[in-house]
């Protein structure tokens, strides 16, 4: 669904900028009404990178660590952060708790996702960590910065941050490349999680089986 929704933003942009903005509003919380075409595309790519970590890599990571209970607990915290993690008088306390817990639980998965997207490029230790720190989130910047550097594009949230500011504006071909990268990263995460599960918790034989 993540790949489908991001691809749908690109298809909508081929029709018109307003159509692209309308489709983008389905997957991001920011107001898309004043975004340019490049900013709409960048927002979709940022959502792709961040949700690759939050919705795929992180649940798999916590499943490997602690099985279904750990994966379910992670999803509960991540969903609570998405629902309450914005400043408002009503949810100020609950939002802070959910946001801090989400930050802790995503510390390693976000960096693992960045490694999957960066594909071992030598800029891992220098440029990636520098760019990741440009966002207010301690974790969200890592997969987004990795995607920006790998594609050599500029990903920006107007008025807040710009990742790989020297890069070019993303084009349609970059969306295609990003979707390929994300699909490959997700498949790698699934294979590694499955292999780890088999090694650390091999299936038990049924009682009475030969």
**Does residue 191 lie within any of the structural domains?**
yes
For residue 76, count other CB atoms closer than 10 A to its CB. Answer: 12
Could you give the CA distance from residue 141 to residue 146 in angstroms, rounded to a whole number? 8
Residues of the chain with pLDDT under 50: 91-94
Give CA angle at 46 (175, 91), nearest 5°: 150
pLDDT attached to residue 119: 77
User: Quick check: is 34 in a domain?
Assistant: yes
pLDDT of 36: 96
Q: What is the tally of structural domains in the chain?
A: 1
Q: What is the pLDDT of residue 39?
A: 96
Closest to 58 in 3D by CA, of 98, 2, 23, 102: 102
User: pTM for this structure?
Assistant: 0.88
Residue 205 lies in a domain: no
| Residue from 69, 155, 59 nearest 105 by CA | 59
| Residue 107 within a domain | yes
Contact 166, 134 (CB under 8 A): no
Within a domain: residue 173?
yes
The Cα 129–Cα 104 span in angstroms is 18
Write down the pLDDT at residue 165: 94
Token output for 116: 């999957």
Query: Is 33 a domain residue?
Result: yes
What does the pLDDT read at residue 200?
A: 85
The per-residue pLDDT for 204 is: 65
- Domain of 109, in residue numbers: 2-200
Look at residue 26 and tell me if it is in a domain. Answer: yes
């Amino acid at each position: 669904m993540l790949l489908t929704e991001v691809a749908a933003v690109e298809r909508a942009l081929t029709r018109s900028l307003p159509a692209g903005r309308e489709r983008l509003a389905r997957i991001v919380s920011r107001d898309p009404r004043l975004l340019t075409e490049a900013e709409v595309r960048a927002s979709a790519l940022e959502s792709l990178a961040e949700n690759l970590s939050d919705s795929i890599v992180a649940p798999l990571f916590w499943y490997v660590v602690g099985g279904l209970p750990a994966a379910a607990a992670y999803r509960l915290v991540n969903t609570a952060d998405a629902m309450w993690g914005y400043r408002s008088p009503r949810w100020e306390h609950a939002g802070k708790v959910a946001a801090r817990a989400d930050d802790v639980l995503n510390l390693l998965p976000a960096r693992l996702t960045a490694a999957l997207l960066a594909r071992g490029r030598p800029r891992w230790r220098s440029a990636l960590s520098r760019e990741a720190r440009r966002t207010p989130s301690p974790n969200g910047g890592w997969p987004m910065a990795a995607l920006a550097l790998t594609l050599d594009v500029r990903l920006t949230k107007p008025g807040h941050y710009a990742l790989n500011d020297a890069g070019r504006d993303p084009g349609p071909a970059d969306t295609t490349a990003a979707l390929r990268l994300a699909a490959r990263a997700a498949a790698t995460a699934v294979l590694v999680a499955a292999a780890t599960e088999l090694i650390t918790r091999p299936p038990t034989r049924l009682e009475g089986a030969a």
